[in-house]
Amino acid sequence: GAVVSQHPSRVICKSGTSVKIECRSLDFQATTMFWYRQFPKQSLMLMATSNEGSKATYEQGVEKDKFLINHASLTLSTLTVTSAHPEDSSFYICSAAGTSYNEQFFGPGTRLTVL
Amino acid sequence: EDQVTQSPEALRLQEGESSSLNCSYTVSGLRGLFWYRQDPGKGPEFLFTLYSAGEEKEKERLKATLTKKESFLHITAPKPEDSATYLCAVQAGSGGYQKVTFGTGTKLQVIP
């Protein structure tokens, strides 16, 4: 399957700082990228869907001004958690899809801990 | 609202003891049903996509089946390395935006 990378894999930050997470599709062009959040012992919750070159579509209840998504190219999407607070601590996972939605390839995830 | 329910929440099997995991779904306009495997602290690993009722797919000790209301992931003669959380997800909708909804997963433990 296709390879998707995320960076960093783990980040610890102080409350009030902003954190940027990168998601890259290494061997295919991702027309669509998805950002998920996973709390302990819970399943993945879709946060937003982004298409290259256009604004992201956020799920209900997800603050677009807090979770900034940029999909600048067919291989890179970034999620910036602005003014992070302890309740934002979670496992953030991205996935990428090509021209078909039928398969999403997931990145390894980023563990965010806000102190 | 699309709903995906997985059962059981947790399953403990002896090595070699076959069993099945269930994924029930209620969606409007099913486009595809996915099975993933997730190891602790890692992202999900794609296993199968099923598109229509009656379809079956196999990979090593795993076999996925689909009906109009549910999907089963059959595990034949499991080994300890099959221990993981198995996630089911459905893709539904029409047009350019087809949302994927995940179930909460079944945590499988295979004991040697």
Output the average pLDDT for chain B.
Answer: 92
> Using a CB-CB distance cutoff of 8 angstroms, which residues of chain A are in contact with residue B104?
42-43
CA angle at B80 for the pair B78 and B85, rounded to the nearest 5°: 85
pLDDT band at A41 (very low <50, low <70, confident <90, very high): confident
Does the pLDDT at position A18 exceed 70? yes
Inter-chain contact A42–B97, Cβ cutoff 8 Å? no
Q: How far is B1 from chain A, CA to nearest CA, in Å?
A: 12
- Residue B78: pLDDT band (50, 70, 90) is very high
With a CB cutoff of 8 Å and minimum separation 6, the contacts of A64 are A48, A56, A58
Q: Are A15 and A115 in contact (CB under 8 A)?
A: yes
- pLDDT of A32 over the 60 cut: yes
Q: What was the pLDDT predicted at B84? A: 97
- Each residue's pLDDT tens digit, A51-75: 887 889 999 999 999 999 998 888 9
Kindly state the percentage of chain A with pLDDT values over 90: 60
CB contact under 8 A, B98 and A111: no
- Which pLDDT score, from 0 to 100, does residue A103 have? 73
**Contact state of A102 with B32 under an 8 Å Cβ cutoff:** yes
**Do B46 and A42 make contact, defined as CB atoms within 8 angstroms?**
no
Q: Whole-angstrom Cα distance, residue A36 to residue B66?
A: 25
Average pLDDT on B16-39 reads 93
- Smallest Cβ–Cβ distance between B100 and the set A46, A108, A111 belongs to A46
**What are B's interface residues with A at a Cβ cutoff of 8 A?**
31-32, 34, 36, 41-46, 49, 51, 87, 89, 91, 97-105
Conformation bin of residue B105: beta by default, left when phi > 0, alpha when psi is -120 to 50: left
Identify the pLDDT of residue A1: 63
B104–A42 CB contact, under 8 Å: yes
Q: Is the pLDDT of residue B26 over 70?
A: yes
Residue B92: band (very low, low, confident or very high) from pLDDT cuts 50, 70, 90: confident
Categorize the per-residue pLDDT at A30 as very low, low, confident or very high, splitting at 50, 70 and 90.
Answer: confident
Q: Which of A43, A49, A103 sits opposite B102 (nearest CB)?
A: A43
